[in-house]
């Protein structure tokens, strides 16, 4: 493109680590023009953030080392300018926002102080900066800007924090805004709002937007052009439509194929016996209602999805069923016995039958225990499988069942990738031959293609072993390919429930419809139609 504002040419960056040199990006080139949105799409480890960090001079050197390339901006090569010249550009001409706005705000200074600093750091007078901050805080949709100025980051919600982060970045009307996974940590409805805000602000200011994401839906919604990265290289580029409909590279095709929401929908076998029946569970924390009259029925071999945004009570429900949390009233009948009134000894037996897989396998697996120890620990707790040889054989079998190799038993969690770790967590759950596995956001932290693999694994286990699943997720798209029944929760209540097909094609409740609409489709045409309909409506 000739009118490129920012252009990365043949950039190669290596990371020198203790285990050798990693070629983080290899000869990549991209550019972004005024008013244009470029998406850099890739999964974790693809190097999608490296070039943006190089643009902002945020790479720590060492271990990073720029091997070759140019970053052209305003007629100069950013890789050749001095530290001070680069600093003067950062925040003023090129700004950046990040994935997790809570950790990217300084916790000990007020939000106003930090937003104002963007201008004072570049020599603008404080009163001018204050006025601009108030204007922008109002513009990004935060109520009562004057009060917001004096509040601290932890006093805002995730979506508000990201809005404030955007305000902070736009203080000096930069030419380029780089957004690194800006909506990944947010609920789908909030994600839609933040993306819409970014687009509006771009129209108003004409800035170039570089959006780094792993989500095809985000690309379909917002990008003018997209570059697809894999293993440090750009494997595909073009408009989102070209890339989605006519992908040339196998990796892109695989990525598009892995996008959820396209497969066949599971159908519940009503004839199978009821395993768990939850009746009118209620739970309050002070004035906050976490569960409000929640009831559900789960059959053997069923995959029941509970969908809701943060704070909807879906995790409290899981914790209540496992008796990790008390409830105010209600019943949970597990194979004819009420879990809520069970004695502590019976609870232990029940916990063997109901296992849980958590969201973040990096945190839920003890880093000091080998895979063998992790998987066999449950047998110690429940006094099962005393024979060591039998245990070793069973661990090997379980590892194969989840798609890992028997020799992985001797390794430690840090030696695995995120997807593999989640497989270990699943093997651990399977070790106790449970009848129900509760998956609390079990695939949310994984890359899209890994998500698809893990879901396929779970579905296989369900069919082969007849295990039931209670699948908790904030993302409707993920559950479509796995669940046969969907419950939608909002503010502690089930607002809608029904067979998956019905929820997706003929939802009744406005909240479900809102969730569905906010759930971005990887197909740019579908997203374009939705936008058109939204603007008509």
Question: Which residues sit at the interface with another protein, rule CB under 8 A?
Answer: 56-58, 87-92, 95-96, 98, 100, 103-110, 117-118, 121-122, 152, 154, 165, 168
Please report, for residues 161, 174, 485, 497, the alpha-carbon distance to residue 332 in angstroms, rounded to integers and kept in the order given. 38, 56, 19, 18
- Considering the complex, what minimum distance in angstroms separates the CB of residue 122 from another protein? 6
Q: Which two tokens stand for residue 480?
A: 């479509």
Q: Which of 175/440 has CB closer to another protein?
A: 175
Q: What is the rounded CA–CA span in Å between residue 25 and residue 239? A: 22
Query: Which helix (DSSP H) or strand (DSSP E) does residue 255 occupy?
Result: helix 250-258
Measured from the CB of residue 90, what is the shortest distance to another protein in angstroms? Answer: 4
Q: Contact 448/214 with Cβ under 8 angstroms?
A: yes
Antiparallel, parallel or unpaired: β 329-334 and 76-77: unpaired
Closest approach of Cβ 125 to another protein, in Å? 16
The partner residues of 310 in beta bridges, in order of sequence, read none
We find the least distance from the C-beta atom of residue 116 to another protein, in angstroms, to be: 11
> In this complex, which beta carbon is closest to another protein, that of residue 57 or of residue 364?
57
Structure tokens at 28: 């990549």
Given the complex with another protein, which of 52 and 443 has the nearer CB atom?
52
Find the shortest distance in angstroms from Cβ 482 to another protein. Answer: 33
Bond prior to 449 in cis (omega within 30° of 0): no
In this structure, the number of other CB atoms found within 10 A of the CB of residue 115 comes to 26
Give yes or no for a contact between 431 and 357, defined as CB atoms under 8 angstroms apart: no
Give the nearer residue to another protein in terms of CB position, either 176 or 426: 176
Reported in sequence order, the residue ranges of 269-390 that DSSP labels E, i.e. its strands, are 274-285, 288-299, 303-307, 329-334, 337-338, 354-357
Nearer to another protein, 178 or 365 (CB): 178
Query: Rounded to the nearest whole angstrom, what is the least distance from the CB of residue 135 to another protein in the complex?
Result: 18
- Give 117 or 496: the residue with its C-beta nearer to another protein: 117
Q: How far is the CB of 10 from another protein (least distance, A)?
A: 24
Which of 218, 64, 173, 130 lies closest to 527 in space, CA to CA?
218
Strand blocks (E) in 300-423: 303-307, 329-334, 337-338, 354-357
If we measure between CA atoms, which residue out of 322, 287, 335, 249 comes closest to residue 472? Answer: 322
What six digits make up the tokens of 452?
Answer: 């698809």
Return the number of the residue (85 or 407) whose C-beta is nearest another protein. Answer: 85
Nearest distance, CB of residue 105 and another protein, angstroms: 6
Between CA 54 and CA 209 the distance in angstroms is: 16
165 vs 470, which CB is nearer to another protein? 165
Nearer to another protein among residue 117 and residue 447 (C-beta) = 117
Give min distance, CB of 389 to another protein, in A. 45
User: Closest distance between another protein and the C-beta of residue 362, in Å?
Assistant: 17
**51 or 512: whose CB is closer to another protein?**
51
Distances (CA, A) of 267 to 31, 304, 464, 481, 484: 47, 11, 16, 11, 5
């Amino acid at each position: 493109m000739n009118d490129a504002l920012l252009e990365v040419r043949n950039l190669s960056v290596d990371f020198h680590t203790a285990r050798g040199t990693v070629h983080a990006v290899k000869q990549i080139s991209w550019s972004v023009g005024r008013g244009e949105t470029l998406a850099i799409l890739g999964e974790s480890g693809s190097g999608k953030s490296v070039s943006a960090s190089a643009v902002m001079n945020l790479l720590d050197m060492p271990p990073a080392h720029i091997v070759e390339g140019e970053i052209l901006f305003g007629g100069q090569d950013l890789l050749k300018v001095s530290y001070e010249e680069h600093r003067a550009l950062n925040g003023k001409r090129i700004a950046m926002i990040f994935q997790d706005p809570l950790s990217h705000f300084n916790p000990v200074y007020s939000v106003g102080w930090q937003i104002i600093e963007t201008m004072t750091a570049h020599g603008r007078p404080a009163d001018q900066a204050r006025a601009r901050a108030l204007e922008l805080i109002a513009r990004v949709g935060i109520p009562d800007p004057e009060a917001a100025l004096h509040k601290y980051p932890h006093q805002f919600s995730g979506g508000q924090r990201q809005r404030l982060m955007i305000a902070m970045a736009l203080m000096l009307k930069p030419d380029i805004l780089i957004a690194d996974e800006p909506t990944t940590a947010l609920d789908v409805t909030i994600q839609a709002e933040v993306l819409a805000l970014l687009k509006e602000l771009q129209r108003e200011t004409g800035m170039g937007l570089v959006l780094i994401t792993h989500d095809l839906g985000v690309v379909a919604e917002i990008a003018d052009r997209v570059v697809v990265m894999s293993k440090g290289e750009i494997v595909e580029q073009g408009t989102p439509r070209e890339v989605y409909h006519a992908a040339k590279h196998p990796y892109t095709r695989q990525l598009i194929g892995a996008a959820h929401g396209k497969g066949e929908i599971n159908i519940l076998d009503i004839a199978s016996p009821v395993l768990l029946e939850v009746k009118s569970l209620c739970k309050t924390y002070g004035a906050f209602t976490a569960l409000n009259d929640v009831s559900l029925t789960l059959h053997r071999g069923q995959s029941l999805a509970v969908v809701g945004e943060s704070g909807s009570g879906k995790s409290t429900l899981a914790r209540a069923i496992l008796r990790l949390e008390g409830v105010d009233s209600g019943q949970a009948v597990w194979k004819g016995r009420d879990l809520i009134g069970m004695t502590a000894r019976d609870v232990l037996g029940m916990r063997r039958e109901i296992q849980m897989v958590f969201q973040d396998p990096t945190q839920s697996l003890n880093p000091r225990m080998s895979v063998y120890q992790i998987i066999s620990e449950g047998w110690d707790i429940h006094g099962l499988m005393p024979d060591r040889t039998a245990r070793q054989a069973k661990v090997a079998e379980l590892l194969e069942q989840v798609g890992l190799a028997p020799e992985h038993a001797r390794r430690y969690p840090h030696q695995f990738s995120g997807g593999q770790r989640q497989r270990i967590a699943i093997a651990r759950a399977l070790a106790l031959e449970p009848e129900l596995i509760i998956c609390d956001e079990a695939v949310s932290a994984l890359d899209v293609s890994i998500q698809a693999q893990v879901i396929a694994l779970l579905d296989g286990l369900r069919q082969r072993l007849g295990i039931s699943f209670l699948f908790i997720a904030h993302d409707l798209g993920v559950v479509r390919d796995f669940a046969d029944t969907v419950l939608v929760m909002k503010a502690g209540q089930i607002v809608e429930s029904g067979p998956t097909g019905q929820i997706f094609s003929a939802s009744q409740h406005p909240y479900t419809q809102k969730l569905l609409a906010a759930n971005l489709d990887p197909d740019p045409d579908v997203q374009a139609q939705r936008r058109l309909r939204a603007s008509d409506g």
